Structure 1
């Protein structure tokens, strides 16, 4: 989790156990039907310990989902140097993202199932949008003019990527993470052509490969 190094290892372990318990319960129950008692029993901790860390179930769920999102972005955001900009810019590595989601597919398959839980999707959508908007503002003078409002471009790309990831998970990861990265890279290249557009927020390293 973000800033976990500053926390007591016992606190980190407790919160992680609670998160694992939540995801486990969501495999068979709707979020509204999962009680604090079920969460604590599954995590093998007391209700008293739970309330030392969280106000209530909703506070726990919100913070647990945010921690998962923070960990995702800690793993997938990389910095690039741009000659005309003083500070390095952060971009979203598709290679790292598909690899990370593939390795943690049990968690993301459940959390991105919008029929059961829309909160995680909304939080993830907001975070990805915010990162992309920030990139677009920093790179404004470098990007080619598209005559489409920044927020419209962001909404289009965020929805497309998250929808693709959700479908990939729901279909049982029938394509490898490398193949998914390569496919998205091809679509982004076809869309942007020779122009430097907001699509440059997505970073990738694609080598010739055989479809697996």
Structure 2
């Protein structure tokens, strides 16, 4: 894939920002391309250079976020599953959530795309399952149930953190996620600190 020029990237970002600003407050069916281009201070033709319609814009924005998250998660998950648990960090993945927080808050919010959550979970589950199934050491019994539980819990906790405007700093949130992931929620609740 050819790298986009800075001007193209800036134009697409303006369109995406305008769309998400509108999407924050209204359902996608109510948003017009004219509203997006007016807000982005571009003409309708410019929109159509990059997108077929509003749903194409949404799909491209979602896919961009998912692919970037997936790239970071693969390294993190590999370390978590097969290496020293004390020396792994989920901070790179959390930093991506922060980077995309203005979009993720909307996508995971009340007006957001219900398919986004499903798409994100499905892609993450499939990637993690491939890693686990390739490992001779990982337990594979009831893997579908475990993956559903873990992915729902992770996405739920990350969504909650976003809804709370990331009131916990990244280091504190990382500690909570790591402890819950490694020891389970009941152990975390019983811990002294």
Query: In the alignment, what sits opposite 2:49?
Result: 52
Q: Would the aligned equivalents of 2:27 and 2:111 in 1 still touch at CA under 8 Å?
A: no
Q: Deviations over 1:5-62 (max 9, x none)?
A: 6223332222222111111112222222111111111122211121122222212211
- Richer in strand (by share): 1
Q: Would the aligned equivalents of 1:23 and 1:110 in 2 still touch at CA under 8 Å?
A: yes
Q: Would the aligned equivalents of 2:74 and 2:128 in 1 still touch at CA under 8 Å?
A: no
Would the alpha carbon gap of residues 41 and 93 (structure 1) be closer, same or farther in structure 2, given more than 3 Å must change?
farther
SS at match of 1:6: coil
Q: How many pairs are equivalent? A: 177
Q: Distance in 1 between matches of 2:15 and 2:89?
A: 29
Of 9, 14, 17 in structure 2, the residue corresponding to residue 12 of structure 1 is 9
Query: In the alignment, what sits opposite 2:146?
Result: 153
Q: Distance in 2 between matches of 1:63 and 1:100?
A: 17
SS at match of 1:172: coil
Deviation at 1:163, TM superposition (A): 0.6
Query: In the alignment, what sits opposite 1:136?
Result: 132
Q: Would the aligned equivalents of 1:77 and 1:93 in 2 still touch at CA under 8 Å?
A: no
The answer for unaligned runs of 5 or more in structure 2 is: 83-87, 185-192
State the Cα RMSD in Å.
2.6
SS at match of 2:75: strand
Query: In the alignment, what sits opposite 2:95?
Result: 99
- The TM-score with structure 1 as length reference comes to 0.72
Q: Which has the higher contact order (CA 8 A, sep 6+)?
A: 1
Deviation at 1:146, TM superposition (A): 6.2
Deviation at 1:131, TM superposition (A): 1.7
Q: Deviations over 1:141-169 (max 9, x none)?
A: 111x3632x22221111111001111111
Query: In the alignment, what sits opposite 2:122?
Result: 126
Query: In the alignment, what sits opposite 2:189?
Result: none
Q: Would the aligned equivalents of 1:78 and 1:93 in 2 still touch at CA under 8 Å?
A: no
The 5 A counterparts of 1:25-104 are 25-78=22-75, 94-104=90-100
Q: Distance in 2 between matches of 1:14 and 1:119?
A: 26
The answer for unaligned runs of 5 or more in structure 1 is: 85-91, 192-210
